[in-house]
Chains A and B, each alone.
Chain A
Amino acid sequence: MKTNNGIIQTLDTCIGCSRCVAACPAMGTNISVQCDGRRLVEPNDEKCLHCGQCIHACGHDARVYLDDTDTFLNDLRAGKNISLIIDPSIFVLYPQYYHNLLGYFKDLGVEKIYDASFGADIYTWFICHFIEGHKGSGFIASDCPVAVELIEKYKPGLIHKLLPVYSPSMCTAIYARNYENDPREFAYITPCLARRNEIDACAEQTNITYHVTFSKLMEALEHEDMTHCYAEPTMKSEDLGYLYAICGGLRENIGFYTGDHARIYDVDGFGQNSLHERQKFLNMLESTGVTYKIIDAYSCHLGMLGSPAIKGGESLFPQVVQQSEKIRHHAFGRAGTQSTPKERLANLDKKFDDIDLSAFRREFKNQYKQPFKLPKDVLDAIFKTMGKNTHQARHVDCSLCGYSTCTEMARAIASGYAAVDDCIHFAQRETIRLSETDNLTGILNQSAFVAKVSDYLWDHTEDKFVLAYLDVQNFKIINDLYGFDAGDTLLKCIAQSLSDYVKDNGLCGRLLGDHFVALLPEGNLAAHDFMNHIHKGLMSINQKFAVSIDFGFYSIVNPEIPVAQMIDLAHIAQSSIKGSFDMHWAHYDEAMRKKMRHEAFVVKEMQRALDEDEFKIFLQPQYDYRTNKMVSAEALTRWMHPGHKMMTPDQFIPVFEKNNFIKKLDLHVFEKVCALQRRGLDENLRVIPIAVNFSRVDLFSRELADDLEVICAKYDIDKSLVRLEITESAYANEPEQLVAAIEKLRAVGFVVEMDDFGSGYSSLNTLYEMPVDAVKLDMRFIDGSQTQKGRFIIDTIVHMMKLLDIPLIAEGVETKNQASFLHSIGCNIMQGYFYARPMPVEEFVLLP
C-alpha cells in the first residue's frame, strides 16, 4: 500500500510513538514503516478521513497537511483571474482582519469574493424543505466532510440518512457558477483541511480548484501589510448563514425558520474518538435517529475551532461567542422580532424562488469495503510471533502501540498496518532475547546460558542435572578447507540438534567458536542417546567431510557452585579425551578432580619453587659396556617441595607444558648443568657430556638457540659438554618447524639426541627427516629383548643405526643379560638401573 502521498503527511521528525495511531478513527490509516532503519508512522490516504486528529495528537510536529495556498498565491500574483469563496468562519474568527484580507485579494485582482454564508442560506433552505417532505428521523447533516466520508467509507447503511444537500461552501460555488455565471476557477478559503475531499467529490458541480486553509494562508501573508486594504464580499448571507461557522449553527438556522430547535442534536468532536469509540459513535448515530430529526455531527471539537487549520484554535472561543451574538442580533433585526418562523421561511423561499433546488442535491457514494475477518489461526500465529502465548499476554491491552487491544494490534500486524516491534512489550522482550542470543545459531550465548542455568537449577531443586560440554574436533581445519559458510552451517546444525534435544527439559548455549554447552536432566541422560542425537543431526546436513565431536559431562552435585565452574568441570572432562582417536566422551570423575587439584597446586607453586630453587638436578650416568666406564650422563629434574615428597617429572612436566612454564624450567636446568660443568672444569674434576631434556614446547621458541648460547657463554662451556635431548613424540606434529629448530641448534654447535625412540608414533620417516646426532632407544624395546621377536627387532634397529651412522644409546638397561645382549649386537653405550639410578649431584661427582 502506498503511504505518505495524500493531504496528510509524515515528516522526518516522526519517532514512531504511535500517538497518531491512537488518535485516528480509521483502522489502517496509519502504517508503521521502516525508513533508513528508523520506524515512522505514515498515513495511507486511501483510508484516511482527513480529520486531522493525528496532527493534534503528534507531539513531535511530524504530522502536517498540504493544501494549495502557495500555488493559489503564485497564480494570483501571476495575474490569473481567480474567484474566491470565503468560509464564514473567517468573519466569525477574525472580524477585523476579514475586510482587510478581502481588500488585499481585490488589490491582487480578484473580482468576485463569495462568502459561503450565502450558500449556507441555500443549505438551510434545502434542509427546511427536505424535512418538511420527509417524515423519517435521524437525518445526518452533510456539512462536515469527515462525517460524510466516515459514513461513506465505514457505515454505508447510514448513507440514506445523510441530508442530500451540498455543504454551504459547495452550495455557494454551485450558485456562483450556475446563477452568477462566474466561469473562473475558484479558490476556497476554509478552516477545514478535509474540504479537499469534498472539493474533489464535487469537481463536476463546481469550479473550485484551490483548497486554501486559514493557517497556511495566514502564515504566507504574515508579513503583508493589509491595513490599507478593504473590501466587502460580492455575496454574503443577510440572515443566519454566518452561524454555520460555529457549532450548533444548523440548529439555530433550522430553528429560526421552523421554530423547532429541539429536534436537532449537535455532536461535536467525534473525530477525537479512538478507533474503538468510532464504532460506538456510528451506532449512536443510528440509535439517536429514533428521537432526533437531524443530527449535526462535526469531527472537530467546538466545530471549526478544533481544526488543525485554525491558528489559535480554542483560545478564540470568547471572540467567537461575541461575534456570533452580533450575527444573531443582526439577523433577527432584519427579520423583525415579531416575525414567525413560517414568515421567515416564506421570505427565504422568496429570496431563492428563481433557483432550482435540485441543483444543490447531493448524491453520496458508497465507498465501503468489507473489512476482512482474520482467521483464528492467523491471529494465533501472530501472537506466537510476538511471544504472546497466554491469555493474559494476549490481553495486556496497554494501548501503547496505538491500538486499544492486543487483538486489534495483531489484526493490524496481519494487515501490514503495524509491525510486531510496535508492541513495546515485544520490543522489550526482543531486546533482551537478542542480548541473550548467539547471533549465528540463535541459541543462548555464554552469559545468558550461565544466568539461565543458575535460575533453572534454582527452580528445579528436586531434580538432578548434567552439564555437557561439546567441542568440534578440528573445526579450524573445516573452516580452512571448506570455508566459513560450511563451518557456520555446521555450528547452526549442532545448535539446532541441541535445541531439539533439550526442548523444555533443559538449556543449551554456544560458548565461543565451536564450543557448546547443554544442561540436561540427569535421569534422562543416556550419554549415547544424547551423542547419537547430535551426530544424527550432523548427518542431516549432508556434510562432505567427517565431523567428530568430543563430549564432556559433569553431573551437578552441588547446584550452588558457580555455573562457570560447572562448565569448566565439563570442559575438563572433554579436554581429557581431546586428541584421542577412540575416545569421544568422558564424564568428570574423582580422578579428574584430583588431577585438577594437583594441577592447580602445581600452577600455584611453580614460580615460587623456581625462585626458591626447589627443582633439583639428578644425574643418571651412561656407561660404555666395553670399558665399563662412565662416558656421559642425563640430567633429570626432581621437585623437592618442602610440604610434599619429591615429585618426579611426570607429575609436573605435563602441567608446565600446558602453561608454557616448561620453557623457564628447561632453561633453568640447562643453566644448572652448565654451572655444574663449569665447577667441574674449574676444580679439575672429571667432566663428561651431560644431556638436558627439552620439551617440544621449547623448540617453538625462536630464541631457544640464542638463549642456550648465552648461557654457555656465561659459563664458558663448550657446547659438546651439554647435549640436548628431545623426546621422539615431539616430532609427531609440525615436523617442518621442528626440523628447522633442530637444524638451528646443531648449526650453532649443539648435539641433539632423539630421546625415547620407539615409545611413540615413531616411524622410519621421522628418523630419516630429523637431523639428530644420536638416538636413545627406549627401555620398552629393551624389555622386548626377553623374547626372540623382541631381540630381532632391537638387533635390526641397532644394525640400521650403524648403517645410518647414528650413534645409539640404550636406556633403561636393568639386567646383565640385557647389557650382554646389547653388546652382542653392537650397542655399547648404556644407561639404566643396571649401572646406576639417577642420583643427586653430590653423589654423582663422587662416582669413580
Chain B
Amino acid sequence: MFPDSTIVGSSVYASFIPQANSARGIKIAAFIDGIKVKSGVIHDIERYPSLHADVIKEATDFIAPTEPGQRRVGCIMFAPAGLAAEEMVLDAFNEVLEPLHIPLFGGSSSAQQDVRGKVALNGKAYEKSAVFFTFELEDTIFYRYQENIFQPSGKRFLVTKADVETRTLYELDGHPAHEVLCRALDVTREELPRALESHPFGRTYGSKLFATVVESIDEDGTITTLSRLYNQTEIELLGLVDMDKEKRKTFEDLHKLLKRMDFSLVLTSDKRVVMLEKAGIFRENKEFLDAGLGSYIGATSHGQYLDDYFINMSLIILAIGEKNEDK
C-alpha cells in the first residue's frame, strides 16, 4: 500500500498500545508526515559492526549539522539479542553519531523463550544484523526518558574476574561470584537465580545508575550477564524502589518537558515485563502508560540502548510532541 515507506520492525516478547488489551500480536505505528527518515542495515554485528559504520554515516547525510542537546534529530535502532553484540553495535553507532550529536535510542530484540529474536527492514528479516533509521522531526521535538525502578542496596562488590567479551562473571571481591551473592542475599545456591530477578547488578556512571541483568547461572557457578561487566569496577546489588512513585515521576517529568505529547515509543525490558507479570501487576502498569502517554506504541526488548549505554531492566521512552516553552 505504501511501497516507498521505510518499514522497520523487531520481534518482541510482548508489545502494547493503548487500544489493545493483548500484549501479543503485531503492533504497528506509522508516521505519515512531519518527519524525514533514512534507514540502513548493519551486518556482521556479532563480529565487527564497526566495519560497516559507513552505512550509518550514509544515513546521516541528509541531516544538517546539529548542536549538542538538540531534540529534533535522532537515531532509532534495533538489533537481535543473544549474540552478545550489543556493546559492539553501540560502539559502531556512536563512532558515527556522537561527533554529529545525534542521540541514539533502541533495543535488542527479544522474543519468546528459545526463539531467536529478529529484526527487519523493508520486508527483509535479519538475525545477525542491526536495522536503524535516522530521523529529523520537522515541527516537533522529542525527549528521551529512562525510568529506573531500582535503587542501590548498599551491597557493593568489586569485579575481580570477568570475561568481558563473553559477559561471564567468575569472581567478586576475589571469591566465587555466586557464593558472594548467595551470602549477600542470604539465599541458597538454588534460590539465587530467583533472588537476582529483583536484584540486578547496578553500575553507577556519574549520576546515572544502570542495571545489568543476570542471564544465567551455570552449574559451576559461572554467571552470564546481559551486559558487560568490567574487571576492577564496582557493582552494587539493586533493590526495587516504590514503583508507583517512580512512574508518577516519569509522567510528571515528561509533561513538564512537553506541552503536548503526540506520540511515544516505549521500550521496556522483557525481564521486567516477566517480573511484573509474575507479580500480577503488568496490566496495572500498562494502564499507567495508557493514562500517562496518550498515543504510544510499546515493545519489550532484551536490553535498551541509550546513547553510550546498553542497559537492562529499564523502561525508556522517546516522546514526541510540542515543547513546553517554559522549560
Contact = CB atoms under 8 A, between A and B. Distances in A.
Nearest to A375: B308
Q: Sort chain A's interface into a size bin.
A: 20 to 34
Contacts of B205: 375, 377
Given A369-B47, A372-B165, A381 B234 contact: yes
B233 A382 contact: yes
A416 B162 contact: yes
A366 to B, nearest CB: 8
B92 interface: yes
B325 to A, nearest CB: 34
A370 B45 CA distance: 9
Nearest to A370: B48
Nearest to A418: B231
A372 B91 contact: yes
Contacts of B231: 413-416
A764 interface: no
Nearest to A383: B232
B48 A156 contact: yes
Given A369-B48, A370-B51, A382-B232, A416 B308 contact: no
B271 interface: no
A413 B206 contact: no
A382 B50 CA distance: 25
Given A377-B205, A377-B206, A413-B231, A1 B163 contact: yes
A370 B50 contact: yes
B161 interface: yes
A378 B234 CA distance: 9
Contact of B233 (A1, A370, A372, A381): A381
A368 interface: yes
A702 interface: no
Contacts of A382: 230, 232-233
Contacts of A385: 158, 232-233
Given A382-B232, A382-B233, A414 B50 contact: no
B230 A374 contact: yes
Max count, chain B CB within 10 A of own CB: residue among A369, A378, A416: A416
Contact of A156 (B51, B87, B232, B233): B51
A420 B160 CA distance: 10
A157 B54 CA distance: 14
A315 B205 CA distance: 56
Contact of A415 (B50, B158, B164): B164
B117 interface: no
B47 A368 contact: yes
Interface residues of B, number: 27
Contacts of A416: 161-164, 231
A370 B232 contact: no
Contacts of B232: 381-382, 385, 413-414, 420
B163 A373 contact: no
B128 interface: no
Interface string A408-422: 000001111000100
Contacts of A372: 87-88, 91, 164-165, 228
Nearest to B49: A370
Contacts of A377: 205-206
A728 B200 CA distance: 65
A381 to B, nearest CB: 5
A40 to B, nearest CB: 15
Given A378-B230, A381-B233, A373 B91 contact: yes
Interface string A392-428: 0000000000000000000001111000100000000
A357 B117 CA distance: 44
Contact of A414 (B161, B206, B230, B308): B230
A552 B176 CA distance: 44
Contacts of B163: 1, 416
A819 to B, nearest CB: 72
B208 to A, nearest CB: 9
A380 to B, nearest CB: 9
Max count, chain B CB within 10 A of own CB: residue among A157, A369, A381, A382: A381
A321 B48 CA distance: 44
Interface string B177-206: 000000000000000000000000000011
A413 B228 CA distance: 14
B150 to A, nearest CB: 18
A203 B91 CA distance: 36
A700 to B, nearest CB: 46
A414 B233 contact: yes
Max count, chain B CB within 10 A of own CB: residue among A366, A382, A414: A414
Interface string B125-168: 00000000000000000000000000000000010011111100
A450 B237 CA distance: 38
Contacts of A381: 230, 232-234
A368 B48 CA distance: 7
Contacts of B51: 156-157, 368, 370
Interface in B26-78: 47-51
A374 B234 CA distance: 15
A373 B165 CA distance: 11
Max count, chain A CB within 10 A of own CB: residue among B163, B206, B230, B308: B230
Nearest to A415: B164
A415 B233 CA distance: 11
Interface string B228-262: 10111110000000000000000000000000000
Contacts of B91: 370, 372-373
28 contacts: A1-B163, A1-B166, A156-B48, A366-B47, A368-B48, A368-B51, A369-B47, A370-B51, A370-B88, A372-B164, A372-B228, A373-B91, A375-B205, A375-B308, A377-B205, A381-B232, A381-B233, A381-B234, A382-B230, A382-B233, A413-B231, A414-B164, A414-B230, A415-B165, A415-B230, A415-B231, A416-B163, A416-B231
Given A368-B48, A378-B233, A420-B232, 5 more contacts: A368-B51, A370-B88, A370-B91, A373-B91, A385-B158
Interface of A: 1, 156-157, 366, 368-370, 372-375, 377-378, 381-382, 385, 413-416, 420
Interface of B: 47-51, 87-88, 91-92, 94, 158, 161-166, 205-206, 228, 230-234, 308-309
Closest 10 CB pairs of A and B: A377-B205, A414-B230, A370-B48, A416-B231, A381-B233, A373-B91, A378-B230, A370-B88, A370-B50, A385-B232
